[in-house]
Amino acid sequence: MNLFGLLPYLVAGWILLIGMYGLVTSRNLIHAVGCLAVAQSATYVLLLSIGFRRGGTAPVFSDTSTHSVVVDPVVQALALTDVVVGATVTALLLSLVIQLHKRHSTIDPDRLNALRG
Amino acid sequence: MSRTGRIRLFLCAAAVIAVAYTLACTGLPHFGSAVHPYGARAVAATLKQRTANTISSINFDQRAFDTLGEESILLGSVLGVTALLRRTDEERQSSERGARVLPSTRLFGTLLLPVALLTGIYIVAHGQLSPGGGFQGGVILATALHLAYVAADYRALDRIRPRELLDGVDAVAAGAFTCLGLAGLVVGAAYLKNVLPLGTFNTLSSGGMVPVINAAVGVEVASGVIVLLAYFLDQTITTGPTTSPTITTSPGGPDGTEPSDTSEATS
């Protein structure tokens, strides 16, 4: 496979790694939740690039012929599931950050090292 | 573990991931290739089910059971946020008056609120025909309601948003999806099988169960997101003796900048 054919997949890998780098170096849990969302968005890029078909249009047949060439709809449906799960996970994590801030008065992960009842 | 040690460990792991991932990518189908066995079968099944929007057919017909799980994740997340962000005894709601709103902003919100609500309903109802559906339309419906917050103040939003009712509606709509699946069992088919008449291709009533499940999901997502946002918005107007509403930690970005030393909020 030539490099150009590989590039969209590599972009997805790069987004995953840059999101993980942000998680590792984060000093603010809200920032860390954002980084997790970035890392997760790699899966959208990967899914959609796997499903791409040269010359294909959107897999919606309300205004095109049913014989037209479309991109893979299965991965698009998976990406939709992915977006919903990502949004709910972000909401839950942010509410955990709020609770942490209430109990420990900090959201710097490096300062959250003491066990407290 | 020290900071530099942690970054070194990450860089080692990242190198391993990068190499393994690149090798794995060379085994993937070519980008833009014409052969998509699952896609071709999904499109054929969609046309057989007379649903114009393939994504909706996959999500609410062919893979409806998976979508039930996805929807349960949303319900679980709403439950989790409700439990985590409920108001405790020592917290009280501040009774500050909202800031004055510009007349143009008020006009914008008042005019756009019904338009945005209608758009949300349209997106939910046409999920089987055009891009959209319960998840997307539900989010539009939920955010449309918050134009009241932009145009007026928090109390105006509170008046048009019966939270206790929406809590119940969220659970009922999630239960409705589960119960809709039982229709398949009643007629002797599989759970969540599309048993309704499929209608005419490319009309509002096509797709059998797809528009019905879309409607249930739309209601669930809309009420779920409203409830989620309500708990988060409540946090900004709740004051307690030990909490400060502002978070003073400065973010350490991926560019490696050292944050200032004000990251511990004083209580």
What CATH number did the domain enclosing A82 receive? 1.10.287.3510
- pLDDT at position B155, please? 80
Question: Is the pLDDT confidence value at B246 over 70?
Answer: no
Measured in angstroms, the CA of B159 and the nearest CA of chain A are apart by 24
Contact A91 B264 (CB under 8 A): no
Within 10 Å of residue B201's Cβ, how many Cβ atoms?
16
| Cβ-based neighbours of B245, under 8 Å, separated by 6 or more | B235, B236, B238, B239
Residue type, B11: L
Pairs of residues, one from chain A and one from chain B, whose beta carbons lie less than 8 Å apart: 197
Query: Domain range for residue A49?
Result: 8-53+69-111
Q: Strand, coil or helix: what is A70?
A: strand
Cα of A110 to nearest chain B Cα, Å: 9
**Average pLDDT of span A47-65:** 91
> Could A28 and B249 be called an inter-chain contact, meaning their C-beta atoms sit closer than 8 Å?
yes
Q: Which of B25, B130, B243 to mutate to test the interface with A (most CBs of A within 10 A)?
A: B25
CB pair distance less than 8 Å for B81 and A92: yes
Count of residues making up chain A: 117
Chain A hits for B267, CB-CB cut-off 8 Å, are 105
Q: How much is the pLDDT for B152?
A: 84
Tokens of B137: 């339309």
Task: For residue B238, give the 3-state DSSP assignment.
Answer: strand
Task: Using alpha carbons, list the distances in angstroms from residue B29 to A71, B26, B88.
Answer: 14, 8, 54
Residue B69 pLDDT > 50 = yes
Cβ of B130 and A60 within 8 Å?
Answer: yes
The total number of structural domains that make up chain A: 1
Q: Please indicate, yes or no, if residue A3 is contained in any of the structural domains.
A: no
Q: Mean pLDDT: which of A113-117, B193-197, B214-218 is highest?
A: B214-218
Q: pLDDT exceeding 90 applies to what percent of chain B?
A: 59
Q: What are the sequence ranges of the domains in chain B? A: 50-85+100-239
Return the percentage of chain B with pLDDT > 70, whole number.
85
B249 pLDDT above the threshold of 70: no
**pTM confidence score:** 0.84
